[in-house]
Amino acid sequence: MSPYLLGLRLSGRRVLVVGGGRVAQRRVPALLDAGALVTVISPEVTHALDDLIAVGRVTWEARPYEVGDLDGAWLVQACTDDRAVNTAVAAEAEAKRIWCVRADDREASAAWTPARGRVDEIDVAVTAGGDPRRAAGIRDAVVAALRDGTIDARRGRTKPVGVALVGGGPGDPSLITVRGRQLLAQADVVVADRLAPRALLDELPPDVELIDAAKVPYGRSMPQKEINRLLVEHAKQGKFVVRLKGGDPFVFGRGGEEMLACAREGIPVIVVPGITSPVAVPAAAGVPVTHRGVSQEFHVVSVHVPPGDPRSTVDWPNLANSNGTLVLMMAVERIGIIAETLLQEGRSPETPVMVVQDGTLPTQRALHATLSTVAERVTAAGIRPPAIVIVGDVVKIGQEVDMVRAERVP
């Protein structure tokens, strides 16, 4: 018959462990985590148990088991390698109505120790018919799914409150952080950017309200003030709101403005950093933004306004004369004037350039050029946003890697 599963609250209660070997060594830490007062009865103990005894976390009676040792215990673990001793312990426990776990005989055991895992406040316990290896495998799968949010574990009574600013990464849905995935699974409302990983949105439960806060270049766009208002409004209604962004919330993501808007209204904010595309997209295309002996600095620049525009705060002359890598965002539509400005300010026309469209996605494609040819080549290839432009000698590293790989192919 299947066991009746309970969660025993052992804090302050005496638990007896008979045996001091490897099985006891595995069982004792979980009992201590539950707050149990653990006594080990065994002539000898392992080094790991000895360490716990030395610091006073475990009481050790260095002798064999004797009848009467179970008095006052709420639970006993029979963990010796002597079947006769385990049988005697179990018999005393049965007579005194104390639950006993036998490590040597699952059929004769009154209780089973489950394979246990914990994610935040969620405890997972799997028995699998008393098969410990099978139980551990199932436990690991469930714990992993809870950690990455693929199991819907939304809280019913103690759900999060306020707003979470979550960086969704550069595009590939598997590149969101574990913490971001967990919070997304708890959301009542999701306010999503155009560049947020869309596949994750398809996994949301039907009762989650999804708000499209897309900002399409030269197209429809939700004003930032309206986004701020929606975050505040829904949070004040007691809903947990996830603001899902592409990349990182604080790297050209206007996350700081949203955090300030919530702070002014007394709304708590959780910030979850994301893998930022200025580093991740070049890496996905095989280009390191820094490389020993080539570039020991890199500059990330938003070109949402072009060089020469009065609203621009970018020091283009300084960038042109830098030996570092330039990573340009929102630059494809202005690549002509950008290249012209860098050339006029002294950058070599032979400087390598790579343009990566749809970085980390299945549709990713890359274009190689030089500073003097990049504008023409981008137009001819029909490269469109979202795309990252990398300027500098590190582009050659990626090309070198490609050549080495090609030479090694039989």
Rounded to whole angstroms, the Cα distance separating 251 from 319 reads 19
Rounded to whole angstroms, the Cα distance separating 82 from 158 reads 47
Question: Can you give the residue ranges of every domain in the chain?
Answer: 14-113, 162-272, 278-406
Q: Model confidence at 156, in pLDDT bands (50, 70, 90)?
A: low
Residues 6+ apart with CB under 8 A from 343: 320, 349, 371, 372
DSSP string, 359-391: TTSTT-EEEEEETTTHHHHHHHHT--SSEEEEE
Selected from 3.40.1010.10, 1.10.3720.10, 3.40.30.10, 3.40.1160.10, the CATH number assigned to the domain covering 162-272 reads 3.40.1010.10
pLDDT of residue 257: 96
CB-based contact 395:354 (threshold 8 Å) = yes
Which is more confidently placed, 215 or 394? 394
pLDDT of residue 166: 96
Work out the angle at residue 354's Cα, subtended by the Cα atoms of residues 351 and 355, and round it to the nearest 5 degrees. Answer: 135
Tokens of 343: 């050339």
Q: Model confidence at 292, in pLDDT bands (50, 70, 90)?
A: very high
Active-site hit among 188, 193, 248, 358 = 193
Rounded to whole angstroms, the Cα distance separating 272 from 177 reads 8
Q: Model confidence at 35, in pLDDT bands (50, 70, 90)?
A: very high
Mean of pLDDT values over 343-355: 95
Which is more confidently placed, 41 or 146? 41
Is 193 one of the annotated active-site residues of the chain?
yes
Active-site hit among 131, 140, 215, 396 = 215
Q: What percent of the chain has pLDDT over 90?
A: 70
- Considering the domain 278-406 in this protein, what is its CATH number? 3.30.950.10
Q: Taking the CA atoms of the chain, what radius of gyration do you get in angstroms?
A: 30
pLDDT of residue 282: 95
- 3-state DSSP assignment of residue 190: strand
Burial (0-12, 13-18, 19+ Cβ within 10 Å), 286: middle
CB-based contact 18:28 (threshold 8 Å) = no
Q: What is the pLDDT of residues 296-342, one digit of tens each?
A: 999 999 998 999 999 999 999 999 999 899 999 999 999 999 999 99
Rounded to whole angstroms, the Cα distance separating 335 from 378 reads 8
Q: What is the pLDDT of residues 62-86, one digit of tens each?
A: 999 999 999 999 999 999 999 999 9
Q: Model confidence at 244, in pLDDT bands (50, 70, 90)?
A: very high
Which is more confidently placed, 145 or 121? 145
Is 96 one of the annotated active-site residues of the chain?
no
pLDDT of residue 215: 62
Rounded to whole angstroms, the Cα distance separating 263 from 222 reads 21
Is a pLDDT exceeding 80 seen at residue 410? no
Rounded to whole angstroms, the Cα distance separating 63 from 60 reads 9
pLDDT of residue 194: 84
Is a pLDDT exceeding 90 seen at residue 291? yes
Burial (0-12, 13-18, 19+ Cβ within 10 Å), 280: buried
Average pLDDT of the chain to the nearest whole number: 90
pLDDT of residue 129: 79
Q: Tell me the fold of 14-113.
A: Rossmann fold (3.40.50)
CB-based contact 356:387 (threshold 8 Å) = yes
Mean of pLDDT values over 90-117: 91
